[in-house]
Amino acid sequence: MDIVDLDRDTIREGLADGSILLIDVREPHEFAMGHIPDSILMPLSTFDPADIPDAGGKRIVISCAAGMRSRHALMMAQAAGLPLAEHYAGGFKDWVMAGEEIARGD
């Protein structure tokens, strides 16, 4: 299965309309310093595709700092047989550089 790169506009719209469940695979200290609002933390260091929550019909999209760890998490999920393919190619760095709102804490 291929990996699909999503852009910031797609992420923003999907979070706004509730169609995307965004999973952040950065580490807890990175997430606490700032993350995309409504994203959930599943650090790559302890990432287990079996722990991905039921998205309730939403599209599951993986995000990290700049698109590398999210690709790795997607490959792990695909190897486990999950039909996941989408990630935020620019990641949190792209989000911040564009001046988008961020959340802090866990």
Which of 89, 83, 72 minimizes the C-alpha distance to 7? 89
CA-based radius of gyration for the chain: 12
In the set 15, 36, 60, 64, the catalytic residue is 64
Catalytic residue check, 64: yes
Which of 21, 106, 9, 13 minimizes the C-alpha distance to 63? 21
Paired tokens of 39? 């994203």
- The residues annotated as belonging to the active site are 64
